Amino acid sequence: MTAPALTWPDVGVVIPTRDRPELLRRSLAAIWDQDYPGHLDVVVVFDGEQPDDSLSRESSERRIRVVTNVRTPGLAGGRNTGIDTLLTELVAFCDDDDVWAASKLTAQVRRLQAEPETEMVTCGIVVSFGGRRSPRLAGRDRIFYRELLPSRLAMLHSSTFLLRREALIAGIGTLDETIPGSQNEDWDLLLRASRRQPIGHVDEPLVDVLWGQSSYFSRQWQTRISSLLWMLQRHPDIVADRAGAARVYGQLAFGYAVLGERRRCMHWAARSLRRRWREPRGVLALAVVVRLLPAEVVLATLHRHGHGI
């Protein structure tokens, strides 16, 4: 008996952007060249600048549109503007400096089609920094809520997200625009999604993620701190998890170290090490605040190996 032919649902892709035209065109080219057999509707959301209408194009199976962010300025509002614009069955995110492998969408949609109960699928990444490429894989094909408490699982990058639009709108909820600086909005979404259903994961490096100087968040330490405190308040299960609390406390300590706030750095570093003495972030924060190590050297070393603080 012949198996029924696989149907390919329409996929909408949301790309928020601001002042990175060359990187944006590279990202769009990779999306346009996907081997996905279904229709793609790509929405480029310009935040705080005039849309570039020259990016618009259309074929029988592809369309690129440009719109202006009409919601809260920033990444979360931009993504929500794109979601509001789309009517597709599935919604994917891509940052304007990241590049999809040609098979990315096909592999993820196959996974969703095989598991009707799954609402969200991610994939592995390759971190590009300083000419070095570091694959980051999860080592599993399903992500559970409890696994996202001790670790952010950085390979579950927002540019890997593919979701059923109905579940996103009516169940999981769209991006929370109250997060300071739209930072950690992807972790918040992962936690909310995984509480409903385990997240499907294609453990292949299907997205090239550019880290380093191109990131708008690279030096916004006060905003990073505010967003981490927001996450602790919004998701108390992180605080209850020994490793998760130690990790975030260590990140807070490092942020205060970079800002030169010695007392606050030592407060959070002590809290981090009390929760988990093996947590390295608290130790690194102390090394930075007493000027044994420059923060830039710490971050560059981590980034070269595909990791962040």
Q: Is residue 235 part of a domain?
A: no
Q: Which 8-state DSSP code applies to residue 103?
A: T
* Same domain as 281, residue 162: no
Domain boundary among 210, 230, 258: 210
Q: Is residue 116 part of a domain?
A: yes
Q: Is residue 56 part of a domain?
A: yes
* Same domain as 148, residue 199: yes
* pLDDT at residue 308, rounded to an integer: 82
* Same domain as 245, residue 206: no
Q: Is residue 159 part of a domain?
A: yes
Q: Is residue 215 part of a domain?
A: no
* Same domain as 67, residue 21: yes
Exposed (0-12), middle (13-18) or buried (19+): which is 2, by Cβ within 10 Å? exposed
Cα 286 from Cα 283, distance rounded (Å): 5
* Same domain as 72, residue 20: yes
Give me 29's structure tokens: 């080219």
* Same domain as 184, residue 102: yes
Give me 307's structure tokens: 């990791």
**pLDDT by residue, tens only, the chain of 309 residues:** 444 457 899 999 999 999 999 999 999 999 999 999 999 999 999 998 999 999 999 999 999 999 999 999 999 999 999 999 999 999 999 999 999 999 999 999 999 999 999 999 999 999 998 888 999 999 999 999 999 999 989 999 999 999 999 999 999 999 999 999 999 999 999 999 999 999 999 999 999 998 865 444 445 899 999 999 999 999 999 999 999 999 999 999 999 999 999 999 999 999 999 999 999 999 999 999 999 988 888 888 888 877 888
Q: Is residue 236 part of a domain?
A: no
* Same domain as 295, residue 161: no
* Same domain as 94, residue 32: yes
* Same domain as 27, residue 120: yes
Domain boundary among 167, 193, 210: 210
Q: Is residue 148 part of a domain?
A: yes
Q: Do strands 199-210 and 120-129 pair parallel, antiparallel, or not at all (unpaired)?
A: parallel
* Same domain as 272, residue 143: no
Exposed (0-12), middle (13-18) or buried (19+): which is 126, by Cβ within 10 Å? buried
Residue 200 domain boundaries:
11-210
- H/E stretch holding 258 reads helix 242-258
* Same domain as 108, residue 47: yes
Exposed (0-12), middle (13-18) or buried (19+): which is 99, by Cβ within 10 Å? buried
- Torsions phi, psi of 44, nearest 5? -95, 120
Whichever domain contains 41, its CATH number is 3.90.550.10
* pLDDT at residue 192, rounded to an integer: 98
Q: How many domains does the chain have?
A: 2
* pLDDT at residue 132, rounded to an integer: 87
* pLDDT at residue 212, rounded to an integer: 64
Question: Taking the model in full, what pTM does it have?
Answer: 0.93
Q: Is residue 216 part of a domain?
A: no
* pLDDT at residue 304, rounded to an integer: 82
3-state class of 52 per DSSP? coil
* Same domain as 246, residue 190: no
